Amino acid sequence: MNRLVLVAVLLLLSGLCAAWGPGVNKRLCEDSVAAVWGQEVLRDCVPENDSGFLWRFCDVNSVMMGSEDYGKCKKAFSRTYDIHPALIPTDVFMDEALHYDYLHCPIIKGTERWWICGDSSDRSAWVLADKWFSAAETAPDVCTRVYDFCIAVNYYADSESELHQVKNIDNKCMQNIEATADRMVESNESSWNAGDKCNFRGSTDNSLTHTQRLGVGSADINRITEYLRNRGVVIRDKPLQPKSSVIILANSIDKEGAQGLYDLEGVWKEGQKVFVVAGNEKEDTQAAWIENKDSLLSGVNAE
C-alpha cells in the first residue's frame, strides 16, 4: 500500500513541473534567432554540434550555472552533442520544478484559493529567464550568445503560460494541453487553442477540490515571440566580450612545503586574467593544481 501511495504522489508532482513541449520551445528559439540574427546564424549555431564549442559553453557559463548545473552540463555534453539549446533546461539541467511564475494567476471565476495560486513574488521561471538573457548580453561569441538566449526562451515561455502560474494542477491535464500545443505549432497552424478542464488537488490529502478550465493558444505564442524578438534585438547589439585567460604552473622557492593559488588581472593586456598555481616542490604544485583545477577550468575559455 505504501509503495502505491508513493508512486501516485510522484506522478502528481511530476505533472506540476512539466514545461511547454519540445516542439514549442524549439520553434520559439529558432524563429526568434532567425528574425534577430538571421538564417545564416541560425543554421551555423542551432544546434552547434562541435564538442569544443559545447565544452567551452559550459565553462563560460559555469559561475552562473553553479556547480550542480555545471556538472550536469559537462556530463551531458560528454555523452552526446545532439542537444538543442532550447531544451538544455529540461534535458540537461532537469530543473522542471523551477519552471513556474506565480505573479499572475489565471483565476477565471470564483474566489482566489491559496492552493491554486502561489505567492506572487515567487517567480522562478522569470528569474532564470532574465539571468540567461543577461548571460547572452555578455557572451564571448555569437553562438554562445544564441545558446544563452535559447535557454532563456525555455524559462520565459513557461513564465508566460497559465499552466505554470497555478499550483497543484493535475498532471494529465497539463500534459494533454501541452501535447496539443506542440502538435499545433509543428503543423504550422496559425490560429488555435488548446484547453481542458483541469483538476486541482488540496495540499494535504491530495483529494479533488476544484475543477477549472485552463489552456494556451496561438495568442500566447505570438505574445511570447514578440517579446523574444524585441529582447533579442537589444542583446544582439551588445558588444561581444571574449574571455582570455592563461594558466601558469610554477614552483615557488620562497615557501616551505607551501602551495597556493593566485590570480592577477591585466598582466599582459587589458581584461586578461592570469592564474598562478604554485608550490614549494613539484608535489606541492601538483596538490595545488588538483585542489583548484575545477574552479580554474570553469573560468577559462580556451579559444
pLDDT of 250-271, one tens digit each?
Answer: 554 545 755 566 666 555 555 5
Nearest to residue 200, comparing CAs of 95, 113, 97, 101? 113
Give the best-scoring range by mean pLDDT among 3-12, 46-55, 147-156, 257-266.
147-156
Domain boundaries, the chain: 2-236, 245-298
The residue behind cell 477549472 is 212
pLDDT at 54 over 70: yes
Cβ-Cβ contacts under 8 Å for 186 (sequence gap 6 or more): 23, 27
Q: Burial letters for 150-161: b for 16+ Cβ neighbours within 10 Å, e otherwise?
A: bbbbbbbbbbbb
pLDDT at 169: 80
pLDDT at 277: 74
pLDDT at 14 over 50: no
The predicted model scores a pTM of 0.75
pLDDT at 224 over 70: yes
pLDDT at 287: 79
- What does the pLDDT average to over 21-42? 96
Helix then strand count (H, E) for the chain reads 11, 5
Q: Amino acid identity, residue 282? A: K
- Rounded distance between C-alpha atoms, residue 27 and residue 190, angstroms: 13
Name the DSSP class of 239.
Answer: P
User: At 51, is the pLDDT very low, low, confident or very high (cuts 50, 70, 90)?
Assistant: confident
pLDDT at 297: 66
The residue behind cell 581584461 is 271
pLDDT at 275: 72
User: Using alpha carbons only, how large is the chain's radius of gyration in Å?
Assistant: 23
Tell me which of 17-26, 197-206, 261-270 is least confident: 261-270
Given a contact cutoff of 8 angstroms between Cβ atoms, the answer to whether 201 and 182 are in contact is no
pLDDT at 293: 73
Identify the bridge partners of residue 277 per DSSP, sorted by sequence position: 249, 261
Nearest to residue 300, comparing CAs of 28, 63, 46? 63
* 113 to 14, 17, 42, 161, 176: CA distances (angstroms): 22, 20, 44, 19, 24
pLDDT at 124: 95
pLDDT at 30 over 90: yes
Nearest to residue 280, comparing CAs of 260, 262, 253? 253
pLDDT at 114 over 50: no
191 CB burial (10 A radius; 0-12, 13-18, 19+):
exposed
User: At 1, is the pLDDT very low, low, confident or very high (cuts 50, 70, 90)?
Assistant: very low
Given a contact cutoff of 8 angstroms between Cβ atoms, the answer to whether 102 and 122 are in contact is yes
- Rounded distance between C-alpha atoms, residue 95 and residue 108, angstroms: 29
Q: Amino acid identity, residue 39? A: Q
pLDDT at 127 over 90: yes
pLDDT at 233: 98
